[in-house]
Each structure stands twice: as C-alpha cells, then as structure tokens.
C-alpha cells in the first residue's frame, strides 16, 4: 500500500509539472478578445481585435475581457481535473483539483 501511495505522489508531481507548462486560451465576442493563461492560472496576455475597440463603448470591451479570462480559467480547470483525476483514480482530494 505504501508503494501505491508513493507512486501516486510521483504521478501527481509529474502531472503538476505538466500542468505548469500548459497554456490555454479563452475567447469572447467570436474571437475578438482572447485571453491566454498559463498552468499556474496567471494571465499571460490579452489580444484584442481592432474592431472591438470602441471608445464610446468601453463597458462592452470590459465585459468581453472578463468573459475571455473566465473562459480560459474554465478550460484550465477542466484540464487540471482531467489530469489529476487520471492520477488519483477519480478520488476527490481537496486542494488537488
């Protein structure tokens, strides 16, 4: 049993390292706003299509940025749960998913 726990720990570390190297993109407005996150959930970049920049409608741009970041976070969460679920065999271990 100890060997199984040690194997699971090693596999979790490997999965966490892989996740740290992962990058995901989320988008909104039909791709007019794109947010890129790394595996540590850090925002790396925001890309805006020129057509979405309207000085008279800043609120729409702000909403699209928030939606794109949230989309990227959701995708990263799905990838994290998938990788960690494969390691833990579906066990729900707090702090790992």
Residue 82 lies in a domain: yes
- With b for 16 or more beta-carbon neighbours within 10 A and e for fewer, the 6-16 pattern comes to eeeeeebeebe
Asked if the model's pLDDT at residue 23 lies above 60, the reply is yes
Residue 42 lies in a domain: yes
Residue 67 lies in a domain: yes
20 confidence band (pLDDT: 50, 70, 90): confident
How many domains does the chain fold into? Answer: 1
Distance of CA 71 to the CA centre of its chain: 8
Domain range for 56 is: 2-86
Residue 95 lies in a domain: no
Residues 30-84: pLDDT tens digits? 999 999 999 889 999 999 999 999 999 999 999 999 999 999 999 999 998 888 8
Residue 92 lies in a domain: no
Mean pLDDT over 19-36 rounds to: 95
User: Residue 51 has what pLDDT?
Assistant: 94
Residue 94 lies in a domain: no
List the CATH number of the domain containing 32.
3.30.1310.10
Q: Residues with Cβ < 8 Å from 26, sequence gap 6 or more?
A: 34, 35, 37, 67, 68, 69, 70, 71, 72, 73, 74, 75
pTM score: 0.76
């Amino acid at each position: 049993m100890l060997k199984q726990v040690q194997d699971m720990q090693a596999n979790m570390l490997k999965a966490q390292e892989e996740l740290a190297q992962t990058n995901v993109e989320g988008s909104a407005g039909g791709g007019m706003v794109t947010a890129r996150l790394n595996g540590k959930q850090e925002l790396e970049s925001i890309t805006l299509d020129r057509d979405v920049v309207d000085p008279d409608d800043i609120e729409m741009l702000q909403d699209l940025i928030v939606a794109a970041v949230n989309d990227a976070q959701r995708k990263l969460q799905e990838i994290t749960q998938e990788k960690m679920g494969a390691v833990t065999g579906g066990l729900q271990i707090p702090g790992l998913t």
